[in-house]
């Protein structure tokens, strides 16, 4: 079961959590790479912040945002009326036309472990032959047992909380960040390690590039740029 913050708190998180660094970085990658008058879909788009920001910089592009949470989509539609937002389970959602870019940021780790590779394959099938997918998530240190997984999740969560408090976050954002520890340790979210996820990307795309924007050693925020 998901334990999500309100749309208002969620939209503020970017300004204080390390995730904001990743958003700035990938925004540039996408803006530079999407062709003129292209088509972009953001799966598990949350409150629509990423496509909303992209729309301001590249208004020539057509944007679609998909998320399960009606409150998030209502919020996104009000904030970014130029984007076509839809409430849907991203597994059931489909499109007759493929996309120049398929985005999924902070989304893969919301899907149960066994659904992550099938979802990457679904993303791969939605990308035009000359297009790309950009999939970004926080990753925990690698683990060899359930006890190690819990401790690895706690490690990432603690470091995230320290960075967020040090960035001067208000209490609702601190609470949402602290909730991540419980969500990850007790598996209402499904963060994994880059060691475990990389083969799933490689099984789904011909070309996979991995980049990191925050964190030490083998944990932190990573994004994968993939194509076929
Ligand atoms: C952490 S948020 C990421 C939001 C946004 N992409 C971002 O980078 O800020 C994860 C989102 O996944 C959505 N979600 C989880 N499972 C989903 C599914 N099966 N289909 C569509 N959305 C889903 C949740 O509603 C939530 O908004």
Instruction: Show pLDDT as tens, one digit a residue, over the chain (228 residues).
Output: 466 788 889 889 999 999 999 999 999 999 999 999 999 999 999 999 999 999 999 999 999 999 999 999 999 999 999 999 999 999 999 999 999 999 999 999 999 999 999 999 999 999 999 999 999 999 999 999 999 999 999 999 999 999 999 999 999 999 999 999 999 999 999 999 999 999 999 999 999 999 999 998 889 999 999 999
The number of C-alpha atoms within 13 Å of 2 and in the hemisphere containing its C-beta is 12
- Rounded to a whole number of angstroms, the CA Rg of the chain reads 17
- CA dihedral 72→110→194→104, nearest 10 degrees, is -40
Name the token pair of 221.
């925020």
Taking the domains of the chain in order of start, what are their residue ranges?
Answer: 7-227
The separation between CA 221 and the C-alpha centre of its own chain, rounded to angstroms, equals: 10
Contacts of 225 (CB under 8 A, 6+ apart): 29, 132, 133, 134, 208, 209, 211
Q: Which residue has the tokens 């740029």?
A: 225
- Structurally, what CATH architecture does the domain formed by 7-227 represent? 3-Layer(aba) Sandwich (3.40)
Q: Is the CB of 152 under 6 A from ligand 1?
A: no
**Ligand 1 centroid, distance to 52 Cα (angstroms):** 15
Which residue's alpha carbon is at the smallest distance from atom 13 of ligand 1?
44
Instruction: Give the model confidence (pLDDT) of 62-105 as tens digits.
Output: 999 999 999 999 999 999 999 999 999 999 999 999 999 999 99
Instruction: Give the model confidence (pLDDT) of 117-129 as tens digits.
Output: 999 999 999 999 9
Handedness of CA 177, 179, 181, 184 (dihedral sign): negative
206: buried, middle or exposed (CB in 10 Å: 19+, 13-18, 0-12)?
exposed
Q: Which residues pair with 102 in a beta bridge?
A: 41, 133
Q: Is the CB of 89 under 6 A from ligand 1?
A: yes
User: Which ligand 1 atom lies nearest to the CA of residue 136?
Assistant: 8
């Amino acid at each position: 079961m998901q334990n999500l913050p309100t749309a208002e708190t969620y939209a503020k998180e970017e300004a204080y959590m390390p995730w904001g660094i990743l958003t700035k970085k990938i925004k540039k990658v996408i803006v530079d790479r999407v062709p003129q008058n292209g088509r972009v879909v953001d799966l598990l788009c949350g409150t629509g912040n990423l496509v909303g920001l992209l729309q301001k910089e590249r208004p020539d592009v057509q944007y679609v945002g998909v998320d399960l949470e009606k409150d998030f989509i209502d919020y996104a539609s009000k904030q970014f009326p130029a984007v076509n937002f839809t409430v849907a389970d991203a597994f059931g959602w489909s499109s007759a036309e493929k996309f120049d870019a398929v985005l999924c940021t902070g989304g893969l780790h919301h899907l149960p472990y066994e659904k992550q590779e099938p979802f990457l394959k679904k993303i791969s099938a939605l990308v035009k032959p000359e297009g790309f997918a950009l999939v970004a998530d926080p990753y925990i240190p690698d683990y060899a047992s359930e006890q190690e997984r819990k401790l690895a999740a706690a490690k990432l969560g603690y470091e995230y909380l320290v960075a967020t408090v040090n960035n001067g976050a208000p209490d609702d954002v601190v609470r949402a960040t602290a909730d991540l520890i419980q969500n990850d340790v007790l598996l209402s979210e499904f963060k994994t390690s880059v060691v475990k996820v990389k083969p799933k990307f490689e099984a789904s795309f011909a070309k996979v590039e991995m980049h990191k924007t925050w964190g030490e050693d083998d944990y932190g925020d990573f994004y994968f740029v993939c194509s076929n």
